[in-house]
Chain A
Amino acid sequence: EVQLVQSGGGLVQPGGSLRLSCAASGFSFSNYWMHWVRQVPGKGLVWVARIDTDGDITTYADSVKGRFTISRDNAKNTLYLQMTSLRAEDTAVYYCARSRSSFDPWGQGSLVTVSS
């Protein structure tokens, strides 16, 4: 079964850091681009970051550029999102997703709450 299992969310103070993980199974992880998408509770979906198959090319939404880093370890079949200088407006559920074109499947989501 193709599956993405996320870990690493939680409560963090403004200015703090947090790392999300997304463990892939059931498919050849190294053959796919991967993305992070976030969703403020009750609101819509917003794309955050993308990484290519080798990890050489990364792209970010303007809102997180310079603060978030997407990376992957193909030997461990795991995607990461390192988040630094967190702000209240980064509070959201973060999803990882596999893509060749459209996004499928998605991880179960990790809630990140930025609050003092």
Chain B
Amino acid sequence: EVVLTQSPGTLSLSPGERATLSCRASQSVTSNYVAWYQQKPGQAPRLLMYGASSRATGIPDRFSGSGSGTDFTLTISRLEPEDIAVYYCQQYGSSPPWTFGQGTKVEIK
């Protein structure tokens, strides 16, 4: 099973700042099959990125993804108040099981 470890646990930033979220896998992820999801309080998760660096439909271009092998990053170039949420990475290259990271909470300072 591929274990995903996200850091930091919580990120406190001011609007307009750059947010960098990390996701490290316990082994290399096949074909960089990593997705990122955003979950706002009381809502279902929403797909942001797939294939490590492809934005899902309707996702603003301030969101970007990068990485390969075992290290992946989600970047929010300019934090907006509506970006307050918990962000999860997921690997779907070595499944089953499909595994998620434990999440990074992004809050406004």
Contact = CB atoms under 8 A, between A and B. Distances in A.
Interface of A: 35, 44-47, 50, 59, 61, 95, 99, 101-109
Contacts of A45: 37, 45, 88, 90, 100, 103
A45 B43 CA distance: 13
Given A47-B99, A47-B100, A50-B98, A101 B45 contact: no
The range of chain B's interface size is: 20 to 34
B50 interface: yes
Give the secondary structure class of B's interface. Answer: loop
Q: Which of A35, A45, A47 gathers the greatest number of chain B CB atoms within 10 Å? A: A45
A106 B45 contact: yes
B98 A47 contact: yes
B107 to A, nearest CB: 15
B33 interface: yes
A95 B101 contact: no
B72 interface: no
B88 A102 contact: no
A54 to B, nearest CB: 18
Given A44-B88, A44-B102, A45-B88, A59 B96 contact: yes
A101 B90 CA distance: 11
A95 B42 CA distance: 13
Given A59-B96, A102-B92, A44 B101 contact: yes
A103 B96 contact: no
A102 B44 contact: no
27 contacts: A35-B98, A44-B100, A44-B101, A44-B102, A45-B37, A45-B45, A45-B88, A45-B90, A45-B103, A46-B100, A47-B100, A95-B45, A99-B92, A101-B50, A101-B51, A101-B92, A102-B47, A102-B51, A102-B90, A102-B92, A103-B47, A104-B50, A104-B56, A105-B44, A105-B47, A106-B45, A107-B44
Contacts of B90: 45, 102-103
